[in-house]
Structure 1
Amino acid sequence: MAQRSRATTDALLAPDVPTDTSETERLRAERDHRRHMFDQLATQFPDAGIVADGEGRLTHWNREQERFAGIDALGRPVHEATGTENKAGTLAETVARTGEAVRESDVRTIPQPDGKAAHCRAGGAGVTRRLPRFRTRAPAGGFRGSRPV
């Protein structure tokens, strides 16, 4: 039973690449497959979630986040979309700077388009991409989620 379960997991984690594929094509297929898996995770995450790139722009703003915030902010700077323009730094910036996961203990109040307020606690984790040839790490942005309280 464990072998079958492991084989199923392997099939989901690796792209379907023919054995006669060149190393470059195989690496591209793996990159594209992992990017697709990440996009799928960010989109289908069950809580409100956003992803920012290294410049602080939103690359993912899932449905729960759109429902929670009442806006679609894809492509906008994080601080504009999250109302943190006058703060010292956004959660995403803190994660990018420190490289560590952050879970805020304070409750945030977020104004809604209808004038009401929503409340949540936020957390975030950095996402890095490995550069296989040099075996180093490069920043690739971060994932931030929030859960209404």
Structure 2
Amino acid sequence: MSYATQTTIVRPTLTLGSTGDDVKDLQKILNGTVADNTLVVDGIFGRATQEAVTVFQKQYGLTVDGVVGSQTWAVLDTIDIYENDVTFPPTIRLGSTGEDVEYLQRRLNGIGLGPVIVDGIFGVATEKEVKKFQKHYDLTMDGVVGPKTWVRLEVIDV
């Protein structure tokens, strides 16, 4: 199972004052997640949109700067605004097995951590590398790969 092979849409960096259809897309997603439909979908990146972006970035463990760059887009583009759901692999931890664990192990190796044996078994060695990754990216260092850790793993180019 591969989550990194999704079609990538090239999105522009959006900041205060940006305008256009990408801003409208952003506002729709923010309305469906953190803004509770309070943003006017007008295609103008104003203060209210910027504030919603910072809330979104905090919620998903991203760098909080109010700018929608490639890392923020990578998470925004995983959200189905009609179901208000983020499509991430399930939470995995010590003892988990299967394709999601194999994918995690390949990502860790691709990032330059490890080496981790890609065997689909979330053992002590995989947990150690996950904790190292979490520490490096200022995430809760619990060895559990949940939404915030998945987000950070997905936005790193390998």
TM category, shorter? under 0.3
Q: Which is strand-richer, 1 or 2?
A: 1
Q: What TM-score comes out, normalization by structure 2 length?
A: 0.27
TM norm structure 1: 0.28
Structure index of larger Rg: 1
